[in-house]
Chains A and B, each alone.
Chain A
Amino acid sequence: MATTACFIIVSRNDIPIYEAEVGSAAKREDAAQLHQFILHAALDIVQDIAWTTSAMFLKAIDRFNDLVVSVYVTAGHILSTCG
């Protein structure tokens, strides 16, 4: 069902640099804010995990109902988050 997705690039100090709503599903009115909430909350998990693994791509580290969060952490700690 995951036909909706949100792509966000987050800088080191948690500032979203780039934001895009992708996906074919009809947009829910509050999709943007729900995605922001989910991805923002997922940063807590990323913060924990990023230092415990050498992998840069952290697949499905967090989920909210049927939305799954995957993160790509760059060397400079800029996050590309996908929900």
Chain B
Amino acid sequence: MDPANTPLGKMLLDEITPVVMVLSTPLVEEASLKNHLSFVQMLSPFCSFNNIDVPVRTASDQPYRLQKFKLRLFSASDIRQPNLEVAKEQLKHFISQAGDKDDMFSDPPQISNLLASSESEIQPSWFQFFNKELVRTVSFSEHEAFDHPVACLLVVSSKDEQPINRFIDLFNTDKLPSLLNDGAMDPKILKHYLLVHDNQDGSPEKAAKILTEMKSTFGSNECQLLCINSSHDGPVEPQDNPWAPYESDVSPSQCVGCFLNIDDSNEIKDLMQDLSSKHIIPYMEQKIRFLNQQVSATRKGFRNQIKNLWWRKGKEDAVDSPDGPMYTFSSIESQIRVLGDYAFMLRDYELALSNYRLISTDYKLDKAWKRYAGVQEMMGLTFFMLDQSRKEAEYCMENAFNTYLKIGSLSQQNATRCGLWWVEMLKTRDQYKEAAVVYFRLCSEEPLHSAVFLEQASYCYLLSKPPMLRKFGFHLVLSGDRYKKCDQIKHAIRTYRSSVSVFEGIMWGHIKDNVHFRIGQWYAILGMDDLAVKHMLEVLACSHQPKTTQELFLRDFLQIVQKTGKTFEVLKLQLPQVNISSLKVVFEDHRTYASPAAATVRESLWQSLEEDIIPPLSNVRTNWLDLQSNSKKYKESNVCVAGEAVKVDIEFKNPLQIPISISGVSLICELSLGSDDASSSTVELQNDDDFKNLITNRDMSSDNVSFTLSEVDVLLGGAETTVVKLTVTPKVEGLLQITGVRWKLSSSVVGFHNFESNHMKKKNAKGRRKSKHSCSDNLKFIVIKSLPKLEGFIDSVPEKVYAGDLQRLVLELRNQSEFAVKNLKMKVSHPRFLNIGNQKNLNSEFPACLERKTSSDPCCVGDSSSSLSQNVFLFPEDTLIQEGTPLLWPVWLWAAIPGDINLYITVYYEMADVSRGMRFRTLRMHYNLQVVPSLDLSFQISPSPSRLHEFLVRMDVVNKTSSESLQVHQLSSVGGQWEISLLQPVDTIFPSQSLMAGQSLSCFFMLKSCRKSLTSEDKISTLSPVLGSDVGLGPEDSNQPLFDVSSSPLADFHHYERLHQEMSHQGDPNAVDFILISRPLTSGDSERPHLFSHHACHCRQYFKRKPNIVASGWASDTIS
């Protein structure tokens, strides 16, 4: 690639060109200002030639042709070093303007798009202008000859009086640039005299006269006449206006170059071409040749070199000032530099390079560091333009850069220019990575410039192959910070926003948080609160940050939100985190629960319990579904009942270490009315936008009372996790869908979480409408007409009881609805512990109702035994529970064994009104009791030594309670075939009557069999009471009544106990069951009366060959 066609090459051909100083009289300016142009501006468009085709012969004898050429025209007043502060101010203004043009609302560019586009598309266009302006801040330095004017154009108007004198005066004023006056350059430069004639002032005859006079004074070649403003038709807009770039300086109504017609343009063009090809280029050629001769004479050749070295060495003790020694234009060093620069401008790069090399060592020896750096810089550029020795070019640039930096802050601008050229050089060679490093090194104390350089560096990283995206992002962030330092917030946001796409999805928490937090903050400064909040939301759930940072984030966020005064609605607000997997829905269709605890019990457990009492499932389904609709969809939905709450438990987690307050947590639901059009009106929630719409719609129609929602307020401590219990109660029939949950954070931001968007997406991807395990199925309900629902509980179930404790409790069933229920059935999971009593027991006094009556009620016994056989208790058929009249039913609780006992009770009932959509429901109750040991009971039976049908029974009782004293009341044998009596009176063996905690008691009885023979009717008689089968153990004088063990509920419990303790010896006639009844001594009358019964079943006689083995109590005790 031709170096001249590269961006840097073009830049150099543009910037390092001969300078022409223009000196004009005020009248000339006046004439050109009619076109709203200065005289320099008027000429400037015609100073650049693409095809000038001038033969050039420099030092060598071989001529070459110059095609491209450019002159730089400056009025004399502009030929001086620009004021740095003014330049900085201008740049700042310019950058601010560029920032204002940015579109703050558009989406930031995606990284994939950036990678696909070219450099010019990615970078803001003002970078180039910025770089150019920075380069120009160091123009007209005395250490570089290429900015020194080559020629001087003296311009006088034909209207001027005494034009010849004016020409002379122009060059002799004190207003000449300091470069010419202080000896930095040769004041004897090429002069060209131009007479300007304004055609509006009349015919050019007078001007022609002056021209002749000029020619005779200054020489015929050096004088020319330029006629301008020839347009007679008044202001016209010239086509292809060459002055268009200057238009921005004037107001739009004024036309730039309006009085200049095509003839004027051509005349100017010819003038400039003439000036370049016939005067400036030949002049430069001539000077090059002259200087070359000079240099050869003094510096070339062995003798000169030795001499030079010797002479330089003598100067070693020279002052080490940054500027080095002063070189006047007549010094050989300056002449070599001029020679090099002229050769460079005429593109004789070989000549330029050799001279630069020559002068470089001189300057180095002289420690003229600034000049040395300048020459090194030019060497680098010459190498580049020669397209050889890239390494050397880069070395020269780096050397120049470092040298400039070494000199100090005065040369910072030079270093910047050098760096910018160096960067361009690297970019040309696709060394973007290295270019980025140079940009980074360009950063100086001036933060605004550093910001722009860092941003350019970041784009270099993006453009390097392979792209270094992380570096890109990092440098954008660095740049943004510096922009912010200079209050260029818009630029800061722009850079940060570009970096967002790089840092998207990475797991580096601090980086992400920093980026989003800063953008959020800055948007807030600009008052663009929506965007600020959007970015702030990203950093809220910053669990990895220290506590102070979390506080800062949250505080700033809430401040912004409060400033807006709006309530923000945020989908998937991260504060608190919603644990979707913890979502638990409890709803009641035909299954209803008496307590939340009952709802948590495994469904299979209930199902096995209800197996016997509910009709087969398939039948049920068709029954109530037929009443609704046969739509297949419904079969997949759950059923709930209008007026009954659907409970949803969801876990909220606070990821932060600081407490947050959440209020108004409620469900988001959708209830489509009417079952027929339900399917069409159900919104498929494809994406979050739809979801959001749904939310807003819901809010608007908040007076919609088709369902009610519960609201919960929670204060979540640091890192706390809370299960929030929410309910929705549909009020009308239809299709209810629970779509999400909403809450309010610190009463200013509303958060939403959609329960199923993820599932939906998954399903769509699979192309299936529904998957069986989808959670959305759980959240869809068919709401059916309101039904009666029984509420039930057992009154005052104790949490902790002693084993053997027998209590009468009351089951209360209530029906809140106006419709009655019937056909009640009930089943208990552990009939050994809980037995359903008789309605008659309800009002009678406990435990007196258990006492033996003179005539027992056989009906009662028969009743209970029949219900026992089925394990299901059928309430009397005429039982009907109406609104307001609760059904009270006694139940017996007997703690059979110590341990942790879960009792499950299910009540089945049917609707009195069959058309209600559901035929039956069940009420599930769950109770947990802790049973602690009380009496340990064991029996030992041995045959009486004297009588055949008599046995000696030894009873050992140990009180295992911790503090309870028990009074033994009665021992009964069950079965009626045994007669039992005390061997000794109670008082002698048991004087205290009560058994203290830990105390044990042994007692002997005589057992007498009254069975005649084993007959088939034996079993019938087993339960009939026989006098003498009980023996009272209480104090004899108290004459307390004995309890009837053969009637309900003692007999029932004994029945289950027998079944439970039953082993292989069923029906053995020699086995005997004992029931020991005791009462707690301490139980005052204020408490509920307690009765303890302990059952020992299948106690048998020991054969003599196996003596002394104890049948231990009521546990597995049958030993033979």
Nearest B residue (CB) for A32: B510
Indicate whether A82 reaches chain B with its CB closer than 8 angstroms. Answer: no
Chain A residues positioned under 8 Å from B474 (CB to CB): 37-38, 40-41
Chain A residues positioned under 8 Å from B508 (CB to CB): 14, 16, 36, 40
Given A14, A32, A38, A42, which contacts B507 in the complex, CB threshold below 8 Å? Answer: A14
Looking at the assembled complex, report how far the CB atom of B101 sits from the nearest CB atom of chain A, in whole angstroms.
Answer: 29
In the complex, the answer to whether A41 meets B471 with C-beta atoms within 8 Å is yes
A21-44 with Cβ < 8 A to chain B: 30, 32-33, 36-38, 40-44
Indicate whether A15 reaches chain B with its CB closer than 8 angstroms. Answer: yes
In the complex, the answer to whether B511 meets A40 with C-beta atoms within 8 Å is yes
Chain A residues positioned under 8 Å from B996 (CB to CB): none
Q: What is the CA–CA distance of A44 and B473 in the complex, to the nearest angstrom? A: 11
Indicate whether B885 reaches chain A with its CB closer than 8 angstroms. Answer: no
Chain A residues positioned under 8 Å from B477 (CB to CB): 37
Indicate whether B469 reaches chain A with its CB closer than 8 angstroms. Answer: yes
Indicate whether B470 reaches chain A with its CB closer than 8 angstroms. Answer: yes
Q: What is the CA–CA distance of A37 and B471 in the complex, to the nearest angstrom? A: 9
B446-481 with Cβ < 8 A to chain A: 461, 466, 468-471, 473-475, 477
Q: What is the CA–CA distance of A30 and B478 in the complex, to the nearest angstrom? A: 13
Known A14-B506, A36-B508, A37-B477: A43·B470 in contact at CB below 8 Å: yes
Looking at the assembled complex, report how far the CB atom of B777 sits from the nearest CB atom of chain A, in whole angstroms.
Answer: 35
Chain B residues positioned under 8 Å from A44 (CB to CB): 461, 468-471
Given B473, B507, B510, which contacts A41 in the complex, CB threshold below 8 Å? Answer: B473
Q: What is the CA–CA distance of A32 and B509 in the complex, to the nearest angstrom? A: 10
Nearest B residue (CB) for A33: B510
Q: What is the CA–CA distance of A41 and B461 in the complex, to the nearest angstrom? A: 11
Q: How many residues of B contact A (CB 8 A)?
A: 18
Known A43-B470, A44-B469, A44-B470: A37·B511 in contact at CB below 8 Å: yes
Q: What is the CA–CA distance of A36 and B508 in the complex, to the nearest angstrom? A: 7
Q: What is the CA–CA distance of A44 and B468 in the complex, to the nearest angstrom? A: 6
Report the contact-size class of chain A (Cβ under 8 Å from the partner): 10 to 19
Indicate whether B305 reaches chain A with its CB closer than 8 angstroms. Answer: no
Looking at the assembled complex, report how far the CB atom of A68 sits from the nearest CB atom of chain B, in whole angstroms.
Answer: 15
Indicate whether B514 reaches chain A with its CB closer than 8 angstroms. Answer: yes
**Contact bitstring B514-527, A, C-beta under 8 A = 1, else 0:** 10000000000000
Indicate whether B610 reaches chain A with its CB closer than 8 angstroms. Answer: no
In the complex, the answer to whether B470 meets A40 with C-beta atoms within 8 Å is yes
Looking at the assembled complex, report how far the CB atom of B400 sits from the nearest CB atom of chain A, in whole angstroms.
Answer: 23
Chain B residues positioned under 8 Å from A14 (CB to CB): 506-508
Q: What is the CA–CA distance of A48 and B506 in the complex, to the nearest angstrom? A: 20
- A15, A32, A38, A45: residue with the most chain B Cβ atoms closer than 10 Å: A32
Chain A residues positioned under 8 Å from B469 (CB to CB): 44
Looking at the assembled complex, report how far the CB atom of B631 sits from the nearest CB atom of chain A, in whole angstroms.
Answer: 47
Looking at the assembled complex, report how far the CB atom of B285 sits from the nearest CB atom of chain A, in whole angstroms.
Answer: 50
B484-525 with Cβ < 8 A to chain A: 506-511, 513-514
- B468, B470, B507: residue with the most chain A Cβ atoms closer than 10 Å: B470
Given B468, B507, B513, which contacts A16 in the complex, CB threshold below 8 Å? Answer: B507
Chain A residues positioned under 8 Å from B510 (CB to CB): 32-33, 36-37
B727-782 with Cβ < 8 A to chain A: none
Q: What is the CA–CA distance of A37 and B502 in the complex, to the nearest angstrom? A: 12
Q: What is the CA–CA distance of A40 and B509 in the complex, to the nearest angstrom? A: 11
Chain A residues positioned under 8 Å from B471 (CB to CB): 41, 44-45
Q: What is the CA–CA distance of A44 and B507 in the complex, to the nearest angstrom? A: 16
Chain A residues positioned under 8 Å from B507 (CB to CB): 14-16
Known A14-B506, A40-B506: A33·B511 in contact at CB below 8 Å: yes
In the complex, the answer to whether B514 meets A33 with C-beta atoms within 8 Å is yes
Q: What is the CA–CA distance of A36 and B510 in the complex, to the nearest angstrom? A: 7
In the complex, the answer to whether B511 meets A36 with C-beta atoms within 8 Å is yes
Nearest B residue (CB) for A31: B510
Q: What is the CA–CA distance of A41 and B473 in the complex, to the nearest angstrom? A: 8
Chain B residues positioned under 8 Å from A30 (CB to CB): 514
Looking at the assembled complex, report how far the CB atom of B633 sits from the nearest CB atom of chain A, in whole angstroms.
Answer: 43
- B477, B506, B510, B514: residue with the most chain A Cβ atoms closer than 10 Å: B510
Nearest A residue (CB) for B468: A44
Chain B residues positioned under 8 Å from A15 (CB to CB): 507
Nearest B residue (CB) for A14: B506
- A30, A33, A36, A48: residue with the most chain B Cβ atoms closer than 10 Å: A33
Q: What is the CA–CA distance of A38 and B470 in the complex, to the nearest angstrom? A: 9
Nearest A residue (CB) for B517: A33
Chain B residues positioned under 8 Å from A45 (CB to CB): 468, 471
Q: What is the CA–CA distance of A15 and B831 in the complex, to the nearest angstrom? A: 59
Looking at the assembled complex, report how far the CB atom of B431 sits from the nearest CB atom of chain A, in whole angstroms.
Answer: 14
Chain A residues positioned under 8 Å from B514 (CB to CB): 30, 33, 37
**Contact bitstring B702-729, A, C-beta under 8 A = 1, else 0:** 0000000000000000000000000000
Q: What is the CA–CA distance of A38 and B466 in the complex, to the nearest angstrom? A: 19
Chain A residues positioned under 8 Å from B513 (CB to CB): 33
Looking at the assembled complex, report how far the CB atom of A29 sits from the nearest CB atom of chain B, in whole angstroms.
Answer: 9
Chain A residues positioned under 8 Å from B506 (CB to CB): 14, 40
Nearest A residue (CB) for B473: A41
Looking at the assembled complex, report how far the CB atom of B913 sits from the nearest CB atom of chain A, in whole angstroms.
Answer: 63
Nearest A residue (CB) for B545: A32
Chain B residues positioned under 8 Å from A16 (CB to CB): 507-508
Chain B residues positioned under 8 Å from A36 (CB to CB): 508-511
Q: What is the CA–CA distance of A62 and B441 in the complex, to the nearest angstrom? A: 14
Looking at the assembled complex, report how far the CB atom of B551 sits from the nearest CB atom of chain A, in whole angstroms.
Answer: 13
Q: What is the CA–CA distance of A37 and B474 in the complex, to the nearest angstrom? A: 6
Q: What is the CA–CA distance of A40 and B468 in the complex, to the nearest angstrom? A: 11
A42-83 with Cβ < 8 A to chain B: 42-45, 48
Chain B residues positioned under 8 Å from A48 (CB to CB): 466
Chain A residues positioned under 8 Å from B475 (CB to CB): 41
Chain B residues positioned under 8 Å from A37 (CB to CB): 474, 477, 510-511, 514
- 12 A/B residue pairs, CB under 8 Å, sorted by A: A16-B508, A36-B509, A36-B511, A40-B506, A40-B508, A41-B468, A41-B471, A41-B474, A44-B461, A44-B468, A44-B469, A45-B471
What is A's interface to B at a CB cutoff of 8 Å?
14-16, 30, 32-33, 36-38, 40-45, 48
Closest 8 CB pairs of A and B: A33-B510, A41-B474, A44-B468, A15-B507, A36-B510, A44-B470, A41-B470, A33-B514
12 A-B pairs besides A33-B514, A40-B508 with CB distance below 8 A are A14-B508, A16-B508, A32-B510, A36-B510, A40-B473, A40-B474, A41-B470, A41-B474, A44-B461, A44-B469, A44-B470, A48-B466
